[in-house]
Structure 1
Amino acid sequence: MSFLYPLNNQAEKMPSAYVGETTDAQSRFANHLHHPDKQKLTQAYLISSDKFNKSATLDLEANLIKYLSGDGKYQLLNANLGLANHRYYQKDEVYAAIFRAVWDDLRQKNIAQHSLEYIDNSDLFKYSPYKSLSPDQTLALITVMQSLLDDRYRHIVIEGGAGTGKTILAVFLFKLLQTHIEDFYFGGFGADEQPIVDLVKKLKQKYPNPNMALVIPMASFRQTVKKIFKHVKGLQPSMVIGPADLSRNKYDIVFVDESHRLRQRVNLGAYFRAFDEASQKLGFDSDKCNELDWVVQQSDKAILFYDEDQSIKPSDAPKEAFDRLKNHPQTQTKLLDSQFRVRGGPRYVRFITQLLHGRLPKGQEPIKLKDYDFKQFHSLQALIDHIKQKNQQEKLARMVAGYAWPWVSKKNPGAADIHINDLALTWNSTSNDWINSPNAIHEVGCIHTTQGYDLNYTGIIFGPEIGYDTQKQEIIIHRQHYYDRNGKDNVKNPEQLKAYILHIYKTLMLRGIRGTYLYICDEALRDYVAQYVPWADQAAATVNDDETPLEPYINSVPLYDLKAAAGGFSELQQVGEDTDWIRVPIHIPITKDHFACQVVGESMNKVIPNGSICLFRKDNGGSRNGKIVLVEHSRFRDAAFGANYTIKEYHSQKHYEADGTWAHDRILLKPLSDDPTYQPIVLKGDELTELKVVGLFEGVLQE
């Protein structure tokens, strides 16, 4: 029988834990007693099942390591090498549910603190060094390790577009090099992995305690990665530095993520002084050098992660400087070309590149992507509503825009910045980790607050600084409408400015993991894009949504009064002549499974304002964990909302039998409220049989 076992020590300021798998728990635990850190662990939990074959056990172990790391409660003692992405029989059908049940049990025992859905959306999880590398990333990893061992090479340049996994690889490799040799467990590696094991052993001989730094030019993203390093054993936030910090030390190995954002002495604003001081300290003429020169001088080995298409302003170190470095005889290069962020994959990336550069053939059908939601909106309000709905459902949906409006609210908080038709919007109120800031869903971000980050869905406003020339049949730039002074001052060549702005929009279009939505101000550009990008709803261009008659399940759904549901919800669902109908925005797809009802009370006010009319979809089975649900139960006594109903976030704990069947141990219905007096509802035993999940929350229709 295979065992999984988390070990932990709660007593430390930053508790530590270790996750392992074995067929002989007693022997493995005895070995841990000889490890200087693992012998301090005080608690052990064994997880076993007759269904744990070797592949399943290794996969569950890898997932526990990934999610415990992303949970943030513990610093893991595990090394990060060898976390394979296993494929095996019934992985999705059976073992995914088993892992969820294991995780729910760990949360109940206070070993884990966050839901899987919460962790999936966290930066700590996304940029954790505990990742299963793709074949593409593994080849790049081998290239870097070989180059570090080869004295002929001083520089390694890893090139790849947005979403190709550069940051993940950088953090993974940094952790690998900072891990002590005794923390690696090489016994679990197969023969096909032996070449990597040999490279690791040689690297640890050459660099037993390397002096390293990770340089990140953008301040906001640098702070995010510092937080990640704080939670990883062997890493320290102080290891993540800005380029000017290179003037203080020389390093064995310097990593540079987002190296296309290294700077030269152009349009630096408040950074001019720091740039000049660092240049002077390093012996450079500040007018003739750039931060790439600093990296090369201050490192014995430099590993740079680079994408020339993400250079967005004249202060960025010039492409020619990187070309010279790449062509240097002491430089090794490697290309990452697999797409990991956007589910549209390489086809989507190629498409938007061709779209922005006018290379798509005339008459081509609008693109259809199986696993990616990519549409253009006629109505900006409809797009904003859609983004807010996606944020309610799946989190991390944000509005962003090109820098086509001045940042008035920077000096005048509360003032609107972006005026489009009758809408007034505000730029991001903070530059530091804006995406995760509390008010982000009500604001509009820009390239400077989103580059380097992941979103689930991105709504992009193409501002009046970008248009389309119907005569020349090409995208054009209106310089007078581009308000990033540091992005356009000293740019004399119109084609260079156009390149920067196209890079900005391409980068924004590669933020969304699950979908990207466009609103385009310029009519000619809108018409050009409409040839190739489907509308969110074709009818929206010509039909005033508020004036069209209500058509059941076409543009409206039944509105139920839960207070009148004395006979149970099934009685309400008998649609007839007396049924009330409520209009649904035309961009929201609906079916006969959809309905609406009013949600009264403050127990869900973080997501649903008191009195809102919300859209629900009939529950047809499947996992509900982490979802907001409308449920019916005789225990509920809510006179305002509906006597037997409540709406809460659903969490369940299950147990599994040897034959693979399962049953609920308990169900937790969690409020999402600013009012701490609202407590979770816990259902156990016989109470579980009376619970009926009526619908899944999809969004707020009216506040």
Structure 2
Amino acid sequence: MIVYHASKKGFIKDVFNGNIADEIDHAFVTHLGRHTSPNEVLSWKNSMMHMYKVINTPDIPDTSSIAIEYQIPLTSKRIDFIISGLDEKQKGNIVIIELKQWEQAQLSNKSGIIKTRFQHGESEVAHPSYQAWSYAYMLTNYNETIREQEIMLSPCAFLHNYQPDNVITDICYTEYIRKAPVFLKNDAQKLQDFIKQRIKFGAKDDIIWLIDKGKLRPSKQLADTLDSMLHGNQEFVLLDDQKVVYETALKMARDSVTGKKQVLIVKGGPGTGKSVVAINLLTQLTKEGLVAQYVSKNAAPRDVYTVKLSGSFRKGFINNLFVGSGSFIDTQENIFDALIVDEAHRLNMKSGLYSNLGENQILKIIHAAKFSVFFVDDRQKVHIKDIGSQRNIEKFAHSCDAITHSVKLSSQFRCNGSDGYLSWLDNTLQITETANIRLSSEDYDFRIFSSPNELFETIKAKNKINNRARVVAGYCWDWNSKKDPTHFDIVIPEHNFKKRWNLNSDKNLWIIGDDSVNEIGCIHTCQGLELDYIGVIVGKDMIYKNNRIVTDVTQRSKHDQSVKGFKSLLKTHKEQALQDADEIIKNTYRTLMTRGSKGCYVYFCDPAIAEHFMNQLQPLHKEKKEIRIEPEINNDVKYIDFLPLYSAKAACGYFGEGEIVDELGWIRVEGMGKLNRNMYVVQAVGHSMEPTIHDGDYCVFRSNPAGSRQGKIVLAQHHNFYDANYAGGYSIKTYISKKKYNENGNWMHEEIALEPQNPNYNPIIINEENAEDFRIVGEFVGIVKLND
């Protein structure tokens, strides 16, 4: 997603006039529905002035393109500054610049990590060169257009306040500085030369725009890359906080081999890459010869990983890598070098089939390993027996006298990379109040269906792409088909909807089964895994009443083990029981609604909660949103690929009276034949020409058209008549002429009517008395189509 976009000339103008920070902030509101922080606005003011000085040279073409805060597709990461154009061989080139206001830094003994001071204190972060390189890698990895058009990406970092020292350029960072050079306070000329070598000419087609609207590659699924990773191949480049967590865990694991027991707690919400970091740790520690295992309470991820690896590795090797959380009941102390616990919030007090074995799963895991890392999200507790909270892990780590460290993953790599979606979901589910009150379709593909059948068919259509779409539901229906496969489980009579829970034969492999799209999964078959699209059926255990989300545990199936024991607890500790049940139900739906990397489609059994969710969505205005208006373009594409956009007033003045007026911008126009200088674009206002022209449509007109205007749509200027749609004397209407013979036997206009197509509006009548007050200045050609 492009936040701020302009030509180099336009960027120079915005900085020179002191508008750049306001322009970027305005773009934030337009695209993301929110203002950014005052500190970020201040950083733009400072950093963009330095970039202004760097690129303000005639050797960098005015028609090269600038993008600021460009969001990498399918992630929440934003690139600070991009400049694009053509090199001396007329090849597309993009320079990616990571901007920092740092003044000092300290070395770290972790690969690609450096220490610097922020307002809240000193922190470890990815080295700016690593950061710039990893962003370029991710952009290339996600975008098919870059590969197809052989566009070259050149990453670098610019620390414009940083005096040269032996820290930021230390030899330990050479690997990444070689991939992405770092420029310091006195290196503005060097950075300018770096850009000049790569950007010699402006491109006919805006490269940044092509990439932003280009075809995306299918995102990698962790389960599909395990084989390659265990063979030593790099499948995922870790970004920012992922890199910090990974390197921190590696160091702690290595230190614990000969030192004191260590425990790392990694906090992170859905889609922050907990499992990706966990598997990367497993493969690296195994490669280093350490005895490491991947641990999870939920069997579904383990079984999926096992199937994906079968045929490439011995079964015994696989079984030793992926184990359940109840495997350490009688394990000797420190027998493992490292235990990597994914979905640690699902850990239980006891182990075994009947939850009657062992002392405590957290304690047993810490006891069994020299180093243990727990990936936890307290808001994914979905079972009454789940005890793996951050507080409990810290308590048991301290009881074992372990060195304990806590870090956080915050960057979003699911749900279209939208941090805003997760905040919106928490706010809408009334889990936590956030500032994200409305969800835009730009944030994430979230849809509400009025029919479960329509939801199901839509997911099945999505699944045909690559078998990565499924429907799940809250456990509000008994699993009758478990005993009798002919029975249906999820039955919604008013829609004649009948489906079965995932078949027992698939067990935990439902999420990758060839035919399992016809079945409905639950929390236990998808937690810890992800899909491209998830369909969610919300049962009567969560409704909306008196402006509140109300949960009702009694609507859960009697087979649901996640709330087993609730009735007993209700008798002795009613308030605590209701609070626990409310948390489990909301967390369950929150987890289900965050399984889809590209989209989440929902059917609510309760119409009131469906309306509540619908009210939290921003209305769709695709026509207004997706038509791109370029402030400036190259002269050689004007009236060839692009037409000027005018206000109705300007168009009437320019084409009717010969006035010189400024265009509002330029719009790419396709499918309307050969363009010429008599053509222009005007945005329609109001509803008088519906259904042909809608409010907000961008309409192409041609001035001085030849032939009859009868029955054609025209742009008219008129005096002494007020059209409310255009706040004055301009109209888009259908031209209807009634003619008669005059006394000389020639045709003459008896009356001209400017007719609306919407019957709720009145025509404008032109006759002999007011004919001089009207001028037809354009004939309608067509509507600019939305970009695909």
* TM score, norm. by length of structure 1: 0.52
Partner Cα distance (1:94, 1:347) in 2: 27
Check 1:349–1:236 CA distance in 2 against 1; reply closer, same or farther (3 A cut): same
Residue in 1 that maps onto 2:294: 214
3-state SS of paired residue (2:134): coil
What is the letter of the counterpart of residue 411 of structure 1? K
Alignment equivalent of 1:419, drawn from 470, 491, 496? 491
What is the letter of the counterpart of residue 346 of structure 2? R
Partner Cα distance (2:381, 2:459) in 1: 27
Check 1:83–1:434 CA distance in 2 against 1; reply closer, same or farther (3 A cut): farther
Partner Cα distance (1:536, 1:383) in 2: 19
Deviations 1:63-83 (A, max 9, x none): xxxxxxxxxxxxxxxxxx999
Residue in 2 that maps onto 1:256: 341
**CA drift at 1:451:** 0.5
Check 1:351–1:118 CA distance in 2 against 1; reply closer, same or farther (3 A cut): closer
Q: Within the alignment, does 1:134 sit opposite 2:242 as a pair?
A: no
Alignment equivalent of 2:306, drawn from 214, 226, 232? 226
Q: How does 1:515-594 map to 2 (within 5 A)?
A: 515-533=599-617
Check 1:141–1:52 CA distance in 2 against 1; reply closer, same or farther (3 A cut): farther
Residue in 2 that maps onto 1:404: 476
Partner Cα distance (2:620, 2:502) in 1: 26
Partner Cα distance (1:133, 1:231) in 2: 28
> Gapped runs of 5+ residues in structure 2?
1-88, 96-129, 152-215, 570-576, 622-691, 693-787
Alignment equivalent of 1:338, drawn from 404, 411, 427? 411
Alignment equivalent of 2:262, drawn from 127, 140, 154? 154
* Residues matched between the structures, number: 409
Check 1:325–1:232 CA distance in 2 against 1; reply closer, same or farther (3 A cut): farther
3-state SS of paired residue (1:405): coil
Q: How does 1:117-128 map to 2 (within 5 A)?
A: 120=220, 123-125=223-225
3-state SS of paired residue (1:254): strand
Partner Cα distance (1:162, 1:408) in 2: 31
3-state SS of paired residue (1:428): coil
Alignment equivalent of 2:354, drawn from 272, 275, 280? 272
Q: How does 1:111-122 map to 2 (within 5 A)?
A: 120=220
Deviations 1:212-243 (A, max 9, x none): 22212112211222345557889744221122
Residue in 2 that maps onto 1:187: none
Check 1:500–1:358 CA distance in 2 against 1; reply closer, same or farther (3 A cut): closer
**CA drift at 1:88:** 8.2
CA contact (8 A) 1:55 1:88 kept: no
**CA drift at 1:325:** 4.0
Residue in 1 that maps onto 2:395: 324
CA contact (8 A) 2:297 2:326 kept: no
Alignment equivalent of 1:379, drawn from 432, 451, 457? 451
Partner Cα distance (1:398, 1:93) in 2: 26
**CA drift at 1:94:** 6.3
Q: Within the alignment, does 1:303 sit opposite 2:373 as a pair?
A: yes
CA contact (8 A) 1:128 1:228 kept: no
Residue in 1 that maps onto 2:430: 357
Deviations 1:25-83 (A, max 9, x none): xxxxxxxxxxxxxxxxxxxxxxxxx9999999xxxxxxxxxxxxxxxxxxxxxxxx999
Residue in 2 that maps onto 1:474: 549
User: Identity percentage over the alignment?
Assistant: 25
Partner Cα distance (2:484, 2:578) in 1: 32
Partner Cα distance (1:263, 1:88) in 2: 40
**CA drift at 1:534:** 6.3
What is the letter of the counterpart of residue 412 of structure 1? D
Deviations 1:356-380 (A, max 9, x none): 1166699x97421315211111122
Check 1:227–1:350 CA distance in 2 against 1; reply closer, same or farther (3 A cut): same
**CA drift at 1:477:** 2.0
Deviations 1:141-190 (A, max 9, x none): 1221232326455111111111111111111111111225xxxxxxxxxx
Q: How does 1:471-510 map to 2 (within 5 A)?
A: 473-491=548-566, 492=569, 493-510=577-594
Residue in 2 that maps onto 1:72: none
Residue in 2 that maps onto 1:574: none
Check 1:393–1:94 CA distance in 2 against 1; reply closer, same or farther (3 A cut): closer
Partner Cα distance (1:460, 1:89) in 2: 30
3-state SS of paired residue (1:456): strand
**CA drift at 1:503:** 0.8
Check 1:392–1:178 CA distance in 2 against 1; reply closer, same or farther (3 A cut): same
Check 1:382–1:227 CA distance in 2 against 1; reply closer, same or farther (3 A cut): closer
**CA drift at 1:505:** 0.5
* TM score, norm. by length of structure 2: 0.47
Check 1:218–1:52 CA distance in 2 against 1; reply closer, same or farther (3 A cut): farther
What is the letter of the counterpart of residue 343 of structure 2? E
CA contact (8 A) 1:160 1:307 kept: yes
- Range 378-387 or range 513-522, more displaced: 378-387
Alignment equivalent of 1:294, drawn from 361, 364, 374? 364
CA contact (8 A) 1:214 1:240 kept: yes
Check 1:171–1:54 CA distance in 2 against 1; reply closer, same or farther (3 A cut): farther
Residue in 1 that maps onto 2:321: 239
What is the letter of the counterpart of residue 416 of structure 1? F
What is the letter of the counterpart of residue 459 of structure 1? G
CA contact (8 A) 1:213 1:255 kept: yes
CA contact (8 A) 1:425 1:444 kept: yes
CA contact (8 A) 2:297 2:344 kept: yes
Check 1:87–1:152 CA distance in 2 against 1; reply closer, same or farther (3 A cut): same
Check 1:260–1:474 CA distance in 2 against 1; reply closer, same or farther (3 A cut): same
**CA drift at 1:524:** 2.4
Partner Cα distance (2:227, 2:582) in 1: 32
3-state SS of paired residue (1:85): helix
CA contact (8 A) 1:220 1:449 kept: yes
Residue in 1 that maps onto 2:681: none
What is the letter of the counterpart of residue 499 of structure 2? L
Residue in 2 that maps onto 1:97: 148
Partner Cα distance (2:608, 2:273) in 1: 35
3-state SS of paired residue (1:244): coil
User: Could you say what the CA RMSD is over the residues aligned between the two structures, in angstroms?
Assistant: 4.0
What is the letter of the counterpart of residue 337 of structure 1? S
CA contact (8 A) 2:459 2:535 kept: yes
Check 1:217–1:82 CA distance in 2 against 1; reply closer, same or farther (3 A cut): farther
CA contact (8 A) 1:291 1:317 kept: no
Partner Cα distance (2:473, 2:410) in 1: 27
3-state SS of paired residue (1:174): helix
Deviations 1:482-530 (A, max 9, x none): 4453111223211101101111101011100110011101122222222
What is the letter of the counterpart of residue 85 of structure 1? S
Alignment equivalent of 1:435, drawn from 508, 511, 517? 511
Partner Cα distance (2:607, 2:266) in 1: 39
Deviations 1:71-117 (A, max 9, x none): xxxxxxxxxx99963628995576512899xxxxxxxxxxxxxxx97
Partner Cα distance (1:343, 1:54) in 2: 26
Partner Cα distance (2:281, 2:349) in 1: 28
Partner Cα distance (2:301, 2:441) in 1: 30
Check 1:159–1:380 CA distance in 2 against 1; reply closer, same or farther (3 A cut): same
Partner Cα distance (1:233, 1:119) in 2: 25
3-state SS of paired residue (2:439): coil
3-state SS of paired residue (2:375): strand
Partner Cα distance (2:279, 2:525) in 1: 21
Partner Cα distance (2:296, 2:304) in 1: 10
CA contact (8 A) 1:120 1:126 kept: no
Partner Cα distance (1:458, 1:315) in 2: 26
CA contact (8 A) 2:488 2:498 kept: yes
Check 1:436–1:212 CA distance in 2 against 1; reply closer, same or farther (3 A cut): same
Partner Cα distance (1:499, 1:174) in 2: 32
Partner Cα distance (1:162, 1:145) in 2: 23
